[in-house]
Structure 1
Amino acid sequence: MEMKGSMAIPRLLWLGLWAAVLRDVAAAAGMKFTGSPIKLKVSQGQPVKLNCSLEGMEDPEMLWIKDGAVVQSVDQVYIPVDEEHWIGFLSLKSVERTDSGKYWCQVENGGKKEESQQVWLIVEGVPYFTVEPEDVSVSPNAPFHMACAAVGPPEPVTIVWWMGDSRVGLPDISPSILNVSGINQSTVFSCEAHNVKGLSSSRTATVQIKAMPLPPLNVTVSQVTSSNASVVWVPGFDGRSPLHSCTLQVAESPEGREVSMEVAPVPPFAYDVQDLKHSTNYSVRVRCSNEMGSSPFTDRVYFQTLELAPSSTPQNIHIIQKEPGLILEWEGVAPDVLKESVLGYRLEWIQDNVTQGEMIVQETKANLTMWNPLKDLIIRVCVLNSAGCGPWSELFLLEAQEVVGGQRQPPYGTSWVPVALGILTALVTAVALALILLRKRRKETRFGHAFGSVVGRGDPAVHFRAARSFNREGPELIEATLESVGISDELKTKLKDVLIQEQQFTLGRMLGKGEFGSVREALLKLDDGSFQKVAVKMLKADIFTSTDIEEFLREAACMKEFDHPHVTKLIGVSLRSRPKGRLPIPMVILPFMKHGDLHAFLLMSRIGENPFNLPVQTLLKFMIDIASGMEYLSSKNFIHRDLAARNCMLDENMNVSVADFGLSKKIYSGDYYRQGCASKLPVKWLALESLADNLYTTQSDVLRSHVQMLAS
């Protein structure tokens, strides 16, 4: 009994499902759209209401379709007539031509789509233009034609042409072509399209008359050499016809004799004139042409070709030793030999197959200071004028092994003059030695007779030895050591391992100087025998005491602790010996910075002899470099107290390093430093708390950097 009862429920469910399916099938079989296909013609701007009737379905989801796409209009209404009879309405309030097309209704029932009969909607109105007259340029009195076309519905559409305010020709069925025999002045054309609904007017087209062009503008001559010149110009009014070429007339000045007539296709509006004579005055003028003819020539523009590069070569190059550098000499080229005006001589020197430098001099000699005496030196010279450098002289080689005993010997074989001087010097030296020996021999003989008996009796002979030798060239120098400058033991300990002997570097040209000292370029000899270009900062010779030396070297000791790409790193310190009784000159050796301090570099970019533009990205990089260096100093518990653009150095790769730590202080406890006594301070951009309370922190460094960057 329980089994039978449990199976009764599924049976009832199946019967219910089958009943629902049978009802849907019966409803689908009885569902249909009523009505017949119709065609509607309405005037443009009129309202239209379309409808479709559906029977045999409860609560349908009815869609309106136009030309296969669902209509998205909100003006759709579905009204029930009875339980299974519905009417759908689509309202179009003001029809346009785009509303024309086929419309129908669609419903979905049981996975199948049912569609109603189609309604064709035709929107009639005034003609619609598909082709309108266009602006053109024509030759005077030359025939041309214009086109115009329009469509309905309703058709047909008739075209009427207008020239200015007058009708032209007879009405024509669209599309229409208007043939014009020619005009001699600018004229406007338009067309009208007519049908039973009314007329439409086209745009107004302007027909311009072609003319000869006007002369070009802004003729300029650039990139002038001894035989070529580049001419550039701006085209003038083209006469409403494209330019096809421009003509350049080149003539010698002031005679005005024509040299050439060059025809240049355009664009571009530029031409390179070639095969000109050097050092000659020329003029050029330009005209341009179109299909109607050529413009007048422009005014003449004058220019002069450059000289030819010199053809002469300097001869008999030789080098004479002169401390602290080398003097290079050669035989100058006689003025009557040169046809060109000489600006001077260009000198170039090479070591390790790399050009180390060059210079331009007015005379026939030059002083070389920056070179490595332990490597072969190759030198060459040429004559220089405005056109460039003439032929280089033969390479002059000065071999490294010619350095003997710290003195450079003249290069024999390059000229008979040094050879003769050497021989003469040797002869004079030999004669002098012979005379000295002869005189000494005579003295020994004379005194030997006088003291012979004394020596023979065994009495002590008299011997004389000078107690002191004297140098007549200058006062005696004392050896400069850290112990001889009067600095504290603490500072001696810090600087002991960075002390560099004076003999290891050679001072060069002055890079800059101030109230208390100067900076000079130098070559530092490294352990491997190579040389490094450095900058040497030193106190002035006559204004310092042991206290000044202490403060000066404390800056070096401060820098010794730094190791950051944007903080100047100490290379070493040195002491320059002076005569006895005078303190040695302290020197701090730093990396060489090609572009100097940032303040001078920024000024030079704006108001120098050759100003240049610094991109915003470069200026931003400068600030980032400085901020990175200052952040490093802050992490090391250092406050700078004198951050300024003048104290930031710029190397050859445009990297900025913070420098000049003369006022820097290390904070051993706390996060600030208070100035205890009066001293010279850069007050111009100091932070307010530093001015008021002698209080210095990393924050006051930050404020100073901001103000300084804005000022620079």
Structure 2
Amino acid sequence: MLNSGWFVVVLLVITACLLRSSLSVPQSNVRRPTRSSEAVVIPRHLSPIHLSKDQLRQLQFKPTIHSIELSEGHQTNFNCSIDIPDTRLEPIIVWKKNDKDLSADEHMVINELQTFSDGVTSLTSTVIIKKVQRADAGEYHCTLSVNNKTRRSQSIVLGVEGLPGFIHEPEDLNVTRNTNFTLTCVARGPPEPVSIRWFNDGKPVEGKEEEMSPSRLTVEGVDKKNQYSCEAHNAKGVSTSRVATINIKVLPSPVTNLTVTAKESNKLMLSWVPGHNGFSSITSCHVRVKEMSQRKGEVTITRLDNVTVPPFPCEVSGLKAMTWYNMSVSCSNELGASPLSMWIQNSTTEGVPSSYPRNVTVQLNESWLVIKWKPPPEDKINGILRGYEVIVKHGTDEDRVHTDNTTTLVPVKEFNTTYRVAVAARTQAGSGMVSPEVRFDVPPSDTSGVIPTSVPDTGLPHVVSVMVGLFCAISLLLIIILGTLCVRNKTPRSCFGLEFGSAGKSLAIIQYTNQKSYSRNAVVVTCEFGSVVEGRLTSLDGTCVKVAVKTMK
């Protein structure tokens, strides 16, 4: 019985403690949220609880400070607050700077405080700027939305005082020698006013007094490099602008690293590095190309190509194959052209012929096609002529014959068909243009002899053949005439001898033997004759006369 009584007492005590604990839990009526340093996007909260018209009319932000003036680097804070006559509402205050949403960051913190008293919620939002900067200056205000109605607080104007800040500083200029130019300097506070003072190469500009911002400086031309700057003064101190450099425009410097980057049979690709532009944009370059003379004293023409730049690589086309050239480049700005670069030498490569062989003809000689042609013009060969490629087609068959001559023989593989013939010249670089096809009809195999093509070889070679034939005919006629004359005069000396052309006359014949010698001593004395002998003079009529015959030594 005693034990059961103690159990009841303990149970009652525990129950009483639990009831007391539940009744003694405090309800906090103060909340102090602090916005994080990250930017927070606050939605427009529309409460389902509606305020009466009188309550909305009384819903206004409390008056606060109108303006704040302080120097850079100091800390400042300002707030706005409002009372809402219903604790069930959970509105949020939004800050704006110059009518744009304001977000918290490492430089700025926004704290919010809510308190509840007698059914009224009091909201207070505070902006804290740790170190004020000139960019923080502006107009701040709060907004609150309740029942689709927006309430706006009065504006708080934050003014940041400090050294003058430059809105526009003097800029670098490139000017023509002795030409006027103008520089501008603009600065502002707060505090105002701000005055401007000009300097040239570190010294105050003569004749230019200190004046209120903005300030303009007009210089009546310079003939060398100059530097200008300005100072801005206010009650807080002095700020100095950047230094503006005034350069005098001159001709560009010569280009460097002129190089041939690629070459073909008829063109060269050049590149170069432009020199200093002389403080004026380079708009064009001039490429000089001169063919190197092949013989001493030969005069060649210098070719000038004008190119728009940039870019600076340039293609020089229309050149001869396997030819050496001298090249130089200059570039121009608005004042004129730079000096010429150093001349370089390079050559084009060998190319394929740019023209085809001419006067292609085809003839049939029994079972052979006789194909002839003339070489292409020398200035179109583009290298060293290595021979020809002859293309012979009939039906679907095609044969290619290589030869070093301008005539070739191709066997006839099929009679009573049409052959198509074309020729191309070759260099080491390959075959060039192919001549137009010449069509030749081969008759049936029972036809013999030489059948010319329907397109005969015409022009100067034919005239030469006629002249050679005429010369041969005249020569043969002269030989026949001379032969006739020789036969007509039968004496050995009548042909091309002393009696040529005098067949009606002959001289007497002297015959002698060494029978008797006279006056041998005369030979020793005069050394003129070998000996004197007795001889006979026989005339044509048969009579003989003794004579003395002197013989030569």
TM-score with structure 2 setting the length = 0.55
The aligned residue for residue 558 of structure 1 is none
**Residue deviations 1:69-108 (CA, integer Å, cap 9, x gap):** 3333242222538443625122222222332333233333
The aligned residue for residue 115 of structure 1 is 152
Shift of residue 150, structure 1, vs aligned partner: 1.8
The aligned residue for residue 124 of structure 1 is 161
**Residue deviations 1:236-284 (CA, integer Å, cap 9, x gap):** 3322222344444454543474625636252255777788889976544
**Structure 1: runs of 5 or more not aligned:** 1-19, 322-326, 417-712
More strand by share: 2
> How do 1:410-429 residues align onto structure 2 when only pairs under 5 Å count?
413-414=451-452
Aligned counterpart in structure 1 of residue 423 of structure 2, from 372, 381, 384: 381
* Structure 2 contact 440–453 (Cα < 8 Å) conserved: no
Larger radius of gyration: 2
Shift of residue 189, structure 1, vs aligned partner: 3.0
Cα separation, partners in 2 of 1:90 and 1:273, compared to 1, 3 Å? closer
The aligned residue for residue 76 of structure 1 is 111
* Structure 1 contact 191–201 (Cα < 8 Å) conserved: yes
Aligned counterpart in structure 2 of residue 240 of structure 1, from 275, 279, 286: 279
Shift of residue 298, structure 1, vs aligned partner: 2.7
Shift of residue 395, structure 1, vs aligned partner: 1.2
Aligned counterpart in structure 2 of residue 50 of structure 1, from 67, 78, 85: 78
* Structure 2 contact 164–239 (Cα < 8 Å) conserved: yes
Cα separation, partners in 2 of 1:123 and 1:350, compared to 1, 3 Å? farther
Aligned counterpart in structure 1 of residue 175 of structure 2, from 138, 146, 160: 138
Alpha-carbon distance in structure 2 between the residues aligned to 1:328 and 1:200: 100
Shift of residue 63, structure 1, vs aligned partner: 1.0
Residue 101 of structure 2 is aligned to residue 63 of structure 1? no
The aligned residue for residue 215 of structure 1 is 254
Q: What one-letter code is carried by the residue in structure 1 that aligns with 2:334?
A: E
Shift of residue 382, structure 1, vs aligned partner: 3.8
* Structure 1 contact 250–258 (Cα < 8 Å) conserved: no
* Bigger shift: residues 256-265 or 131-140: 256-265
The aligned residue for residue 33 of structure 1 is 61
Alpha-carbon distance in structure 2 between the residues aligned to 1:320 and 1:230: 54
Alpha-carbon distance in structure 2 between the residues aligned to 1:45 and 1:97: 9
* Structure 1 contact 215–236 (Cα < 8 Å) conserved: yes
**Residue deviations 1:125-170 (CA, integer Å, cap 9, x gap):** 2222222222332334444332222222222222223333333343
Q: What one-letter code is carried by the residue in structure 2 that aligns with 1:54?
A: I
Q: What one-letter code is carried by the residue in structure 2 that aligns with 1:199?
A: V
* Structure 2 contact 357–423 (Cα < 8 Å) conserved: no
1:75 alignment partner, SS class: strand
Shift of residue 345, structure 1, vs aligned partner: 0.9
Cα separation, partners in 2 of 1:167 and 1:338, compared to 1, 3 Å? closer
Cα separation, partners in 2 of 1:139 and 1:275, compared to 1, 3 Å? same
**Residue deviations 1:48-81 (CA, integer Å, cap 9, x gap):** 2212232352455241432333333242222538
Residue 129 of structure 2 is aligned to residue 86 of structure 1? no
Aligned counterpart in structure 1 of residue 371 of structure 2, from 330, 340, 346: 330
Alpha-carbon distance in structure 1 between the residues aligned to 2:397 and 2:209: 88
Shift of residue 175, structure 1, vs aligned partner: 2.0
Q: What one-letter code is carried by the residue in structure 2 that aligns with 1:330?
A: I
Shift of residue 219, structure 1, vs aligned partner: 5.2
Alpha-carbon distance in structure 2 between the residues aligned to 1:117 and 1:149: 32
* Structure 1 contact 38–118 (Cα < 8 Å) conserved: yes
Aligned counterpart in structure 2 of residue 297 of structure 1, from 340, 344, 349: 340
**Residue deviations 1:600-621 (CA, integer Å, cap 9, x gap):** xxxxxxxxxxxxxxxxxxxxxx
Q: What one-letter code is carried by the residue in structure 1 that aligns with 2:122?
A: W
1:76 alignment partner, SS class: strand
The aligned residue for residue 194 of structure 2 is 157
> How do 1:491-506 residues align onto structure 2 when only pairs under 5 Å count?
none
* Structure 1 contact 317–396 (Cα < 8 Å) conserved: no
**Residue deviations 1:292-315 (CA, integer Å, cap 9, x gap):** 443222333446788984764444
Shift of residue 196, structure 1, vs aligned partner: 1.8
* Structure 1 contact 135–207 (Cα < 8 Å) conserved: yes
Q: What one-letter code is carried by the residue in structure 1 that aligns with 2:111?
A: Q
Alpha-carbon distance in structure 2 between the residues aligned to 1:92 and 1:166: 40
2:183 alignment partner, SS class: strand
Cα separation, partners in 2 of 1:26 and 1:350, compared to 1, 3 Å? same
Cα separation, partners in 2 of 1:332 and 1:376, compared to 1, 3 Å? closer
Q: What one-letter code is carried by the residue in structure 1 that aligns with 2:390?
A: L
* Structure 2 contact 371–409 (Cα < 8 Å) conserved: no
Q: What one-letter code is carried by the residue in structure 2 that aligns with 1:98?
A: A
1:98 alignment partner, SS class: helix
Aligned counterpart in structure 1 of residue 389 of structure 2, from 329, 346, 360: 346
Shift of residue 349, structure 1, vs aligned partner: 4.2
Alpha-carbon distance in structure 2 between the residues aligned to 1:170 and 1:185: 24
The aligned residue for residue 178 of structure 1 is 217
* Structure 2 contact 416–441 (Cα < 8 Å) conserved: no
Q: What one-letter code is carried by the residue in structure 2 that aligns with 1:65?
A: W
| Identity, % of aligned positions | 26
The aligned residue for residue 666 of structure 1 is none
* Structure 2 contact 362–440 (Cα < 8 Å) conserved: no
Cα separation, partners in 2 of 1:176 and 1:295, compared to 1, 3 Å? same
Shift of residue 179, structure 1, vs aligned partner: 2.5
Cα separation, partners in 2 of 1:124 and 1:359, compared to 1, 3 Å? farther
Alpha-carbon distance in structure 2 between the residues aligned to 1:276 and 1:71: 70
Q: What one-letter code is carried by the residue in structure 2 that aligns with 1:75?
A: I
Cα separation, partners in 2 of 1:76 and 1:351, compared to 1, 3 Å? farther
Alpha-carbon distance in structure 2 between the residues aligned to 1:221 and 1:385: 24
> How do 1:166-205 residues align onto structure 2 when only pairs under 5 Å count?
166-168=203-205, 169-205=208-244
Alpha-carbon distance in structure 2 between the residues aligned to 1:21 and 1:239: 76
Alpha-carbon distance in structure 1 between the residues aligned to 2:328 and 2:371: 47
2:61 alignment partner, SS class: strand
Cα separation, partners in 2 of 1:122 and 1:360, compared to 1, 3 Å? farther
2:204 alignment partner, SS class: strand
* Structure 1 contact 79–86 (Cα < 8 Å) conserved: yes
* Bigger shift: residues 263-272 or 185-194: 263-272
Residue 385 of structure 2 is aligned to residue 362 of structure 1? no
Shift of residue 212, structure 1, vs aligned partner: 2.0
Residue 435 of structure 2 is aligned to residue 392 of structure 1? yes
Cα separation, partners in 2 of 1:344 and 1:82, compared to 1, 3 Å? same
Alpha-carbon distance in structure 2 between the residues aligned to 1:163 and 1:373: 100
Alpha-carbon distance in structure 1 between the residues aligned to 2:305 and 2:265: 21
Shift of residue 381, structure 1, vs aligned partner: 1.6
* Structure 2 contact 307–314 (Cα < 8 Å) conserved: no
Cα separation, partners in 2 of 1:292 and 1:350, compared to 1, 3 Å? same
Q: What one-letter code is carried by the residue in structure 1 that aligns with 2:173?
A: V
Alpha-carbon distance in structure 2 between the residues aligned to 1:136 and 1:361: 71
* Structure 1 contact 316–330 (Cα < 8 Å) conserved: yes
* Structure 1 contact 106–113 (Cα < 8 Å) conserved: yes
Shift of residue 289, structure 1, vs aligned partner: 2.7
* Structure 2 contact 291–325 (Cα < 8 Å) conserved: yes
* Structure 2 contact 357–435 (Cα < 8 Å) conserved: no
Aligned-residue CA RMSD (Å):
4.8
* Structure 1 contact 77–90 (Cα < 8 Å) conserved: no
2:139 alignment partner, SS class: strand
Alpha-carbon distance in structure 2 between the residues aligned to 1:270 and 1:111: 68
**Residue deviations 1:576-607 (CA, integer Å, cap 9, x gap):** xxxxxxxxxxxxxxxxxxxxxxxxxxxxxxxx
**Structure 2: runs of 5 or more not aligned:** 1-47, 455-553
Q: What one-letter code is carried by the residue in structure 2 that aligns with 1:392?
A: S
Q: What one-letter code is carried by the residue in structure 2 that aligns with 1:189?
A: Y
Cα separation, partners in 2 of 1:296 and 1:320, compared to 1, 3 Å? farther
The aligned residue for residue 206 of structure 1 is 245
Alpha-carbon distance in structure 2 between the residues aligned to 1:256 and 1:141: 48
